[in-house]
Amino acid sequence: MKYFVPRRVLPWRRSFSHSSSRRVIKSLSELPARINPKYTETRQNDLLCLQWPSPPRNVLLTKKNNTPEITESLIEYAQHIHSTYPSMNLMLEPHAAEEVHSKLDFPVYTTSTPTLHDAPTPTILSDKTDLVSTLGGDGTVLHASSLFAHTPCVPPILSFGMGTLGFLGEWKFKEYKRAFREVYMSGAHDAYASIDQKDQSEITDSEDANTTPTYASIRGKSMGAARPARILLRNRLRISVFSPSGDRLNSSDPAAGDTYALNEVIVHRGSSPHLKIIDVFVGGRFLTEAVADGMIISSPTGSTAYSLSSGGSIVHPLVSSLLLTPICPRSLSFRPLVLPANTPITLRLSEKNRGREVEVSVDGVRISKGVGVGMEVRVLGEDIRDRRSGEWCGGVPSIVRGVVGMEEKEEDHWVGGLNALLKFNYPFGEEA
Amino acid sequence: MKYFVPRRVLPWRRSFSHSSSRRVIKSLSELPARINPKYTETRQNDLLCLQWPSPPRNVLLTKKNNTPEITESLIEYAQHIHSTYPSMNLMLEPHAAEEVHSKLDFPVYTTSTPTLHDAPTPTILSDKTDLVSTLGGDGTVLHASSLFAHTPCVPPILSFGMGTLGFLGEWKFKEYKRAFREVYMSGAHDAYASIDQKDQSEITDSEDANTTPTYASIRGKSMGAARPARILLRNRLRISVFSPSGDRLNSSDPAAGDTYALNEVIVHRGSSPHLKIIDVFVGGRFLTEAVADGMIISSPTGSTAYSLSSGGSIVHPLVSSLLLTPICPRSLSFRPLVLPANTPITLRLSEKNRGREVEVSVDGVRISKGVGVGMEVRVLGEDIRDRRSGEWCGGVPSIVRGVVGMEEKEEDHWVGGLNALLKFNYPFGEEA
Amino acid sequence: MKYFVPRRVLPWRRSFSHSSSRRVIKSLSELPARINPKYTETRQNDLLCLQWPSPPRNVLLTKKNNTPEITESLIEYAQHIHSTYPSMNLMLEPHAAEEVHSKLDFPVYTTSTPTLHDAPTPTILSDKTDLVSTLGGDGTVLHASSLFAHTPCVPPILSFGMGTLGFLGEWKFKEYKRAFREVYMSGAHDAYASIDQKDQSEITDSEDANTTPTYASIRGKSMGAARPARILLRNRLRISVFSPSGDRLNSSDPAAGDTYALNEVIVHRGSSPHLKIIDVFVGGRFLTEAVADGMIISSPTGSTAYSLSSGGSIVHPLVSSLLLTPICPRSLSFRPLVLPANTPITLRLSEKNRGREVEVSVDGVRISKGVGVGMEVRVLGEDIRDRRSGEWCGGVPSIVRGVVGMEEKEEDHWVGGLNALLKFNYPFGEEA
Amino acid sequence: MKYFVPRRVLPWRRSFSHSSSRRVIKSLSELPARINPKYTETRQNDLLCLQWPSPPRNVLLTKKNNTPEITESLIEYAQHIHSTYPSMNLMLEPHAAEEVHSKLDFPVYTTSTPTLHDAPTPTILSDKTDLVSTLGGDGTVLHASSLFAHTPCVPPILSFGMGTLGFLGEWKFKEYKRAFREVYMSGAHDAYASIDQKDQSEITDSEDANTTPTYASIRGKSMGAARPARILLRNRLRISVFSPSGDRLNSSDPAAGDTYALNEVIVHRGSSPHLKIIDVFVGGRFLTEAVADGMIISSPTGSTAYSLSSGGSIVHPLVSSLLLTPICPRSLSFRPLVLPANTPITLRLSEKNRGREVEVSVDGVRISKGVGVGMEVRVLGEDIRDRRSGEWCGGVPSIVRGVVGMEEKEEDHWVGGLNALLKFNYPFGEEA
Ligand SMILES: NC(=O)C1=CN([C@@H]2O[C@H](COP(=O)(O)OP(=O)(O)OC[C@H]3O[C@@H](n4cnc5c(N)ncnc54)[C@H](O)[C@@H]3O)[C@@H](O)[C@H]2O)C=CC1
Ligand SMILES: NC(=O)C1=CN([C@@H]2O[C@H](COP(=O)(O)OP(=O)(O)OC[C@H]3O[C@@H](n4cnc5c(N)ncnc54)[C@H](O)[C@@H]3O)[C@@H](O)[C@H]2O)C=CC1
Ligand SMILES: NC(=O)C1=CN([C@@H]2O[C@H](COP(=O)(O)OP(=O)(O)OC[C@H]3O[C@@H](n4cnc5c(N)ncnc54)[C@H](O)[C@@H]3O)[C@@H](O)[C@H]2O)C=CC1
Ligand SMILES: NC(=O)C1=CN([C@@H]2O[C@H](COP(=O)(O)OP(=O)(O)OC[C@H]3O[C@@H](n4cnc5c(N)ncnc54)[C@H](O)[C@@H]3O)[C@@H](O)[C@H]2O)C=CC1
């Protein structure tokens, strides 16, 4: 039996009893190398088209924790992927792998550390993941993105809102079949490519995980026309945090380098009841001394998150910019700023703070140690286009939901989100 | 020697070596009982006039800690009071008493607990204090006010801004002689009353601390005309905090009852990186579910403090009201509210928060334990006028600075503060 | 026939052909004098109770113009009042009187001028009106209130929102029977008082308009228990506008004196494309020079109108205060202010404006002439309680809607309006 | 005499008496054709360098009207240019030409229409102007920019703030010699190029206005090293306004095409006291119905103008974007938006407005006729870089002030403006 090869069983899976040889957890290292898609411009020039050179093989599924309904949905989704796209390998985070593998009759892949998040930078993830798919809210998308927080090149993310739609989770779960198919086929040259799930089922087992299927090989399967998936390439922030003594604090691994954030980095008084004094430098020059609860440096994507709550403007994700938004500033005249994405911004905890610590958080996750007076947060926007080649890379490639049969109105995702989710300019009044 | 009566030396003053018999610390209990002033309406009907039935005898001086210049000023001020108004008794907080008593050649009075603040409700303070005078910033005024946080009747406060003027600290320190004299004499019926420091010095020592001097007895002293001191009676908030199990949390002493705040009470996510969900009830009815960093319930006085930083309007301290201001609400439509002072407001930490704690603080001081899901903060404005008698009582009677020789413009304190301190509507532009 | 007395037909009713002798328009001067109700405090002490010394006789109905459905409703409402409360006299504005009198088989009363609004101060209105009832939106309530803009004592207003509920129009039209009855009976001492419409119908015609019915006389009619109507006494602004040369501009009648406003007075650049420079004085002292589109001085009632759109806080109508809110100020630090109701505020069009005119409007109606550089708008809050007698008078007595069977929750009108109409803190999100 | 050629005297100069043959006004048509500079990127990549292929010859000077001091400064400035750079031709607006030509002993050039502004599109201006220099405030820069409102390619603008510095007027007038020299020499390849005014004076007269001087020909003149002038290329808005019947309203010349704005286009209720209802379309899709005083569509440059007063964020001029900012919206949830510069935005006056007119203004100048219900304002950001060639063109090339001897800090113009002019985050407090 191919799946139950003892050496493949991860050492930390001690307590695991596998009644069926298929319900196993395997190591990511066994997976074939990642396939990098291309992104091509559309005539409208704001969304990009996803183009796989060959069909994706490794999909990482992440989900919100502690929510049984979502775990159920994950299982349903995984089974659909396995049965319809038998050449796909399913990757899960360790916690989820343990939780669901026994309910799946095919192997799942995971890392050998208990949680990816605590792990030393999981470069293996970025070496293997072709595609990410999330089930949860915005927090789950932020978490998925954080798994690639030290990687310049994030795989495309297909996100499903569960229960409540979020700003980042574009799709409704009930659309998962159409959505996955659209992504899987995206960019296949043969518009008549199709998959026949029945015919293929017997050859699945004999397929090696390392085989590269081609769109040609799946020709004839009843997939219908392949419309390319639309990608919104969300700029990230490139963040480094330094302790007063110059140690890098933004990662537990000192060699990890800068951290990429999807929403924002925040410096905040946290549990200290007192105002904080933060020196703000823009483009290397002193801009101002902020006396406030804290400061936010946000991406346009993050403009609808914490920055919005603090009075920031809403910035479209395609405006290449950084937002500087104060949190409860002790000033009548500290208006939020929108700066060019390539402007370096530094926040420095002023000596005037008399040694009190602050809270620094990236996308809602706190960096908790060594953050004292003299500490610096340095931020730069991310270049998502190679200057020389003109190729699109970087950012978080978010697969945007199109409306079937409304091709011409397909760009509604952001405007739709403003209206439906944020209740933007929600009308006054009530019927008598 | 009158001052060195061994039994008067407090037991906890072990480490204290007194070279001079006068440089002693005595107990508050030795002081005569408090004299309660009256407040009378002026024709303008917004500020009140202070009227002592007989000259005040016990003055509590508080100061900002860890600031040597301020300690110097305190000594200068104390010496002036003692030499000019020999019948006055000087009260200090224990920490300050220890710090300065050896530099004063007369006794100071303090409580027998290391810091007043940690002490079981210091009712003795409110039983003895005729007048409070603070040296420091707004924080020092807030602290002085907190010493009377369980007392309906706060003595008048004469506050000096040191270094930087604050919104609550009305006077400049260099005006201390005029200011103290104005307060001391306020309401004396004999406009020709005067004090001659030299003549009186010999009788001072023989005066018992418990003697009640009369304005008549100080007649003839060259004090000039007695202009009454003007009082801004600042409404407070009456706060109670209850744990989910119904225990009162707003004071370490369970019997202490409600706490009065000068600025505000705040519920805040504190060190938790996540949004908090707070149910807001107004007048006993559910108003809204706030999803936010936190909520502020502020007095009009506090409208220029934290509430201002969070986007609240500036409310004149004489508008009888409560402000409800959200901190970074996750909503586009949560505008600050100004409610009648007699409206009960309750903030309740919703069950949806899944057990995470929050920070509750009163005037910038944190209540740190037992604050979980189900916790309630209940607030009511303070009545500063007795309904039946029409007498003014309650509130924090703040002695407002008049401008010499500008009688007709004397109400400038608030407008002046807006312009000079808050840089309200500060004009644009610069000379070329 | 009593009603068809030719001399009573107003001269300006030339084109009117009356098939029925009853469908006539009569002059207000024929009506009995006004009955002034008392307002008594409730135990909750924020709303008042309406108490008629004897049943009201003269009701003024106003309606939104050019809306056929509302005209239909007016007719239905008038017929109900006439048939159920035969002793009531119906007053209409001239325009409405002409529009509907032919559809009513009883006389209506109106003034002899084409529109009340253009008329010299219609003191006759305040001499005759016991009660006002409006059918329309907030604009109709504002208009009704403006009919009493020079009267210290406004009759109670019962307002029905039509089509869309407004903030000032409390009641739904379908509730008109219950609402009118509640108001009519309010304060009747005999809780068993009742009216039997049938029994009374024959005596109606013989009743003279000048007879004072008593609650006793309508005893036995099946009206059920008389719950007193609840009154929200809305403070107004007392406004005077002076031209640079000192002429009063706030009224076309120079003798009219101050104008009372329900919402606000506004100074605005109007059609001038340039910023205006306005000097603001508070309590007689210079506060600031506003460089802005304009300035608003608003009552708490107006805090949910223009002031809200300009960034002002929402102030409960029972907070005795004035709001000073800038419109598009050219300043980062011009925060809205809330001032005590008894603070005089003056807006003065600065000499720096170089002669350009501005727009001054009161409750949305423009004062159009003579408003140039040097012009002043002076505002004072209205006292709604007599200092000596303690009697409630002044303000706009608005009849607040109670919820049947929910006595304990009856104060929901304002909180309800915030949530239902203003979508206050409207929750984010959408179901997936 | 070369300058006094009668046929060159413009017919409309009837009343002009020239005592000296040189004090004449000539027609723009006599000037040599415009020289177009290149803009090259600097290593910092946000400001550009100005590079003339050969020295500029035609400079247009504009000034604020009705300000005698500024007229004096204009004369001084013109004389300096003429004497130091004798090959330069001075262009003035007709009004200014008439006002000052008699005080200058050399000819000035102007158009043959009374004011450029009212003129049919002055393409002659864009055909002849190498460089613009303004003396006045931001209004003068806006006016200068409006002279090129129908030209894709605006000459570089050197602006001097007079009296009060503005946000757009970068330089102080006392720096005019250094500033003009820096611009004149900008990009000259010969770093030792110099001008000796004395030596050259005799040949000046014989130089024809049409001769092209070269930097080589001015070699040896003591000009010192040529540091290139730094250019901030400010994006404009491309605006078209259509009447309900589809007529173009944004220009008096129907053939003029779109209008470019530097700050913003505004739709506003103007003198109507009522709210306006405006449908907003973004990217061709309906975004929202705005019920408000008006709407602003602003460039990043305009983000510190009207949009700021209306609550918009401050956007750096190099962030390629459009701002959508409501003016006093009747909504709690209408937050300003920042959209990609290439997003088409349309404002449409809704049918619900019942025929009332609105005010439409571009950079503070009103379009006054034909603007009724159904009217549309369509806006697009301007492309300032040619997609194919990568050349910079379009926008308003604003010459930014460098600080002498502080090369490394030279980018301070925007940050400096925020702090010095807008009093951004101006610190609280005052010394005691
Ligand atoms: N006062 C506030 O508004 C606060 C906001 N946050 C935000 O929460 C994020 C972390 O998310 P969770 O871990 O789920 O924390 P959480 O459980 O506190 O929820 C954050 C909320 O923000 C929403 N959100 C997240 N990213 C968004 C985006 N880009 N646009 C619109 N809405 C967005 C989520 O849907 C959720 O409603 C942080 O990156 C920060 O932006 C965190 C703390 C306070
Ligand atoms: N983001 C913010 O604006 C924050 C404000 N605070 C305020 O600080 C107060 C506690 O003061 P400290 O212990 O000195 O803390 P702190 O050292 O953090 O300073 C608070 C600042 O607020 C000023 N302030 C205090 N009360 C004021 C008032 N009524 N009007 C105008 N300014 C006022 C003080 O002058 C000082 O500048 C709290 O009651 C709260 O209002 C506390 C935390 C954050
Ligand atoms: N940008 C804005 O918000 C503007 C507001 N207004 C307001 O309109 C009022 C005049 O009303 P209309 O003649 O009907 O003009 P309108 O037809 O322009 O409508 C004004 C709107 O304000 C609402 N409104 C009026 N008073 C209110 C109150 N006290 N609380 C909450 N909403 C209220 C009305 O329901 C209506 O939706 C003025 O007193 C002024 O407050 C007038 C012009 C502009
Ligand atoms: N409430 C407001 O803030 C209003 C602003 N405006 C602005 O005025 C401009 C027209 O200017 P003027 O004819 O001089 O009118 P103006 O005489 O009314 O003055 C406008 C003010 O805006 C400043 N300004 C103009 N452009 C600016 C920019 N890009 N950044 C920062 N400040 C700027 C000027 O220095 C001046 O202080 C319009 O484009 C509009 O932006 C016009 C009307 C009202």
Q: What confidence tens digit (pLDDT) does each residue in A159-211 have?
A: 999 887 788 977 999 999 999 999 999 987 654 444 444 444 444 444 455 56
Tell whether the torsion through CA atoms of B231, B234, B235 and B238 is positive or negative.
negative
- What distance in Å separates the CA atoms of residue A63 and residue A71, rounded to the nearest whole number? 7
Residue by residue, what is the 3-state secondary structure of chain D? CCCCCHHHCCCCCCCCCCCCCCCCEEEHHHCCCCCCCEEEECCCCCCEEEECCCCCCEEEEEECCCCHHHHHHHHHHHHHHHHHCCCCEEEECHHHHHHHHHHCCCCEEECCCCCCCCCCCCHHHHHHCCEEEEEECHHHHHHHHHCCCCCCCCCCEEEEECCECCCCCCEEHHHHHHHHHHHHHCCCCCCCCCCCHHHHHHHHCCCCCCCCCCCHHHCCCCCCCCCCCEEEEECCEEEEEECCCCCECCCCCHHHCCEEECCEEEEECCCCCCCEEEEEEECCEEEEEEEEEEEEEECCHHHHCHHHHCCCCEECCCCCEEEEEEEEECCCCCCCEEEECCCCEEEEECHHHCCCCCEEEECCEEECCCCCCCCEEEEEECCCECCCCCCECCCEEEEECCCCCCHHHHHHHHHHHHHHCCCCCCCCCCEC
**Domain identity same for A212 and A305:** no
Q: Which 3 state secondary structure label does DSSP give B360? A: strand
A225/A251 same-domain check? no
* Domain presence at residue A428: no
Per-residue pLDDT at A387 exceeds 80: no
Lowest mean per-residue pLDDT among A73-82, C335-344, D189-198: D189-198
Over chain B, what is the mean pLDDT? 84
Q: Does A275 touch chain D (CB under 8 A)?
A: no
The encoded tokens of residue B188 equal: 């004396």
Residue C391 inside a domain? The answer is no
The verdict on residue C315 lying in a domain is yes
Residue C238 has pLDDT above 50, yes or no: yes
The pLDDT value recorded for residue D21 is 46
CB contact under 8 A, D270 and C270: yes
CA distances from B301 to B53, B142, B155 (A): 28, 11, 17
| Sequential pLDDT tens for chain D (432 residues) | 333 223 333 333 433 344 444 678 899 999 999 999 999 987 665 789 999 999 999 999 999 999 999 999 999 999 999 999 999 999 999 999 999 999 999 999 998 655 545 444 468 899 999 999 999 999 999 999 999 999 999 999 999 998 877 889 779 999 999 999 999 999 876 544 444 444 444 444 444 555 667 786 665 454 555 678 999 999 999 999 999 889 999 887 777 899 999 999 999 999 888 899 999 999 989 999 999 999 999 999 999 999 999 999 999 999 999 999 999 999 999 999 999 999 999 999 999 998 778 999 999 999 877 788 999 999 999 988 887 888 898 999 999 986 544 444 545 678 888 998 999 999 998 755
Higher-confidence position of B303 and B200: B303
Q: Do B261 and B138 reside in the same domain of the chain? A: no
| Average pLDDT of span A140-166 | 92
Residues 6+ apart with CB under 8 A from B230: B42, B47, B48, B49, B50, B399, B400, B402, B410
User: Does D309 contact chain C (CB < 8 Å)?
Assistant: yes
Which residues lie across from A267 on neighbouring strands?
Answer: A295, A360
Q: Strands D157-161, D131-136: parallel, antiparallel or unpaired by DSSP?
A: parallel
Cβ-Cβ contacts under 8 Å for A320 (sequence gap 6 or more) = A235, A300, A340, A341, A381, D319, D320
C367 and C298 within one domain = yes
Q: What is the CATH number of the domain that holds C116?
A: 3.40.50.10330
Give whole-number Cα distances, B314 to B304, B430, C322, D202, in Å: 6, 27, 12, 69
The residue in chain C having the minimum alpha-carbon distance to the alpha carbon of residue B412 is C285
CB contact under 8 A, C432 and A335: no
Residues B203 and B249 in one domain: no
Same domain for B304 and B211:
no
**Chain D contact present for C354, CB below 8 A:** no
* Cα–Cα distance measured from residue D17 to residue B427, given in angstroms and rounded to the nearest whole number: 46
Check whether residue C227 and residue C173 sit in a common domain: yes
**How many structural domains compose chain D?**
2
Are D131 and D175 part of one and the same domain?
yes
**Tokens 């571009």 belong to which residue?**
D362
CA atoms within 13 A on the CB side of A16: 24
Residue A189 contacts B, CB cutoff 8 Å: no
Q: Are A99 and A169 found together in one domain?
A: yes
Close Cβ partners of C68 (under 8 Å, ≥ 6 residues apart)? none
Give the chains touching D; criterion: ≥3 Cβ pairs < 8 Å.
A, B, C
D374 neighbors D244 (Cβ within 8 angstroms): yes
> Which two three-digit tokens encode residue D417?
């403006």
Residue C193, pLDDT score: 43
Contact (Cβ atoms closer than 8 angstroms) between residue D269 and residue D359? yes
Residue B414 in any domain: the answer is no
For B74, the token pair is: 């305190």
Tell whether D111 is covered by a domain.
Answer: yes
Q: What is d(CA A276, CA A268) in angstroms, rounded to the nearest whole number? A: 8
Strand partners, C85: none
Determine the average pLDDT of the residues in B93-111: 93
Residue B422: pLDDT band by 50, 70, 90 thresholds? Answer: very high
Give pLDDT tens digits for B229-267: 999 999 999 999 999 889 999 887 777 899 999 999 999
Across the interface, whether the CB atoms of A332 and B365 are under 8 A apart is answered no
* pLDDT given for residue D8 in this prediction: 33
Q: Are D52 and D214 in contact (CB under 8 A)?
A: no
Residue nearest to atom 9 of ligand 4 (CA): D364
Ligand 1, atom nearest to A164 Cα: 35
Could you tell me the distance, in angstroms and rounded to a whole number, from the CA of residue A139 to the centre of ligand 1? 7
Residue B171 pLDDT greater than 80, yes or no: yes
Token pair 């504005």: residue: C93
Q: What is the pLDDT of residue B381?
A: 92
D366-373 contact pairs (CB < 8 A, 24+): D366/C273, D367/D241, D367/D249, D367/D250, D369/D249, D370/D243, D370/D247, D370/D249, D371/D241, D371/D243, D371/D249, D372/D243, D372/D244, D373/D244, D373/D349
Note which residues in 314-333 of chain B have CB less than 8 A from chain A: 327-333
Q: Does the pLDDT value for residue A7 go beyond 50?
A: no
D283 dihedral zone (left: phi>0; alpha: psi -120 to 50; beta): left
What whole-number distance in Å separates Cα of residue C71 and Cα of residue C61?
11
Residues D60 and D111 in one domain: yes
Percentage with pLDDT > 90 across chain C: 62
Say yes or no to pLDDT of A383 above 90. no
Over residues B37-68, the pLDDT tens digits come to 999 987 665 789 999 999 999 999 999 999 99
Distance CA C432, CA D216 (A): 72
* Mean pLDDT, residues B140-145: 96
Residues A415/D285, Cβ–Cβ less than 8 Å: yes
C359 touches chain D (CB under 8 A): yes
DSSP B254: G
ipTM of this complex prediction, to 2 decimal places: 0.91
- Check whether residue B184 and residue B307 sit in a common domain: no
In Å, how far from its chain's centre is CA A104?
25
Cβ contacts (< 8 Å) between A165 and chain C: which residues?
Answer: 429-432
Decide if D424 is inside a domain: no
Which one of D366, D381, D396 terminates a domain? D381
Closest residue by Cα to atom 3, ligand 2, is B306
Which of B252, B273, B276, B230 lies closest to B118, judged by CA? B252
Which residue of B43, B278, B337 is the best one to mutate when testing the C interface, meaning the one whose CB has the most C CBs within 10 A? B337
Q: If you ran DSSP here, which 8-state letter would residue C62 be given?
A: E
Residues of B with Cβ-Cβ distance to C287 under 8 angstroms: 415, 418-419
Task: Tell me which residue has its CA closest to atom 28 in ligand 1.
Answer: A305
Q: Which domain holds residue D347?
A: 236-381
Pocket mutation for ligand 2, best pick of B65, B67, B138, B418 (most atoms within 8 Å of C-beta): B138
The domain that contains D285 carries what CATH number? 2.60.200.30
CA dist., res. A77 & res. C366, Å (int): 64
Any CB–CB contact under 8 A between A420 and chain C?
yes
The last residue of a domain, from among B233, B266, B301: B233
CA atoms of D299 and D297, how far apart (whole Å): 7
**Smallest CA–CA distance from A139 into chain B, residue:** B274
What are the residues whose beta carbons fall under 8 Å from the beta carbon of B187, sequence distance 6 or more?
A: B37, B38, B49, B50, B51, B52, B226, B228
Site residues for ligand 1, CB cut-off 6 Å: A 137-139, 142, 166-168, 263-264, 301-302, 304-306, 309, 363-364; B 273-275, 292-293, 328, 330
**Smallest CA–CA distance from B426 into chain C, residue:** C333
Beta strands per DSSP E along A330-383: 337-340, 345-349, 359-362, 365-367, 376-381
Minimal Cα distance from C325: which residue of D? D328
Residue A135 lies in a domain: yes
CA C308–ligand 3 middle distance (angstroms): 10
pLDDT of residue B122: 64
Asked if the model's pLDDT at residue C402 lies above 90, the reply is no
**Ligand 3 residue neighbourhood (C-beta within 6 Å):** C 137-139, 142, 166-168, 263-264, 301-302, 304-306, 309, 363-364; D 273-275, 292-293, 328, 330
- Protein residue whose Cα sits closest to atom 5 of ligand 4: D306
Considering the domain architecture, whether residues D61 and D110 belong to the same structural domain is answered as yes
How far apart CA A290 and CA A329 sit, in angstroms, is 7
Asked if residue A100 belongs to a domain, the reply is yes
- Rounded (to 5) percent helix, strand, coil in chain B: 25, 30, 50
Among D182, D207, D233, residue at a domain's last position: D233
CA R_g for chain B = 23
Instruction: Give one word for D297, left, alpha or beta, with left for phi > 0 and alpha for psi -120 to 50.
Output: beta
Confidence of residue C122 (pLDDT cuts 50, 70, 90): low
CB B326 within 8 A of CB C349: no
Going by CA atoms, what residue is nearest to atom 17 of ligand 2? A274
CA distance B429 to C20: 73
The pLDDT of residue A115 is above 70: no
Mean pLDDT across C358-369: 90
What digits encode the pLDDT tens for the residues B70-83? 999 999 999 999 99
What backbone phi and psi angles, to 5 degrees, belong to C39?
Answer: -120, 125
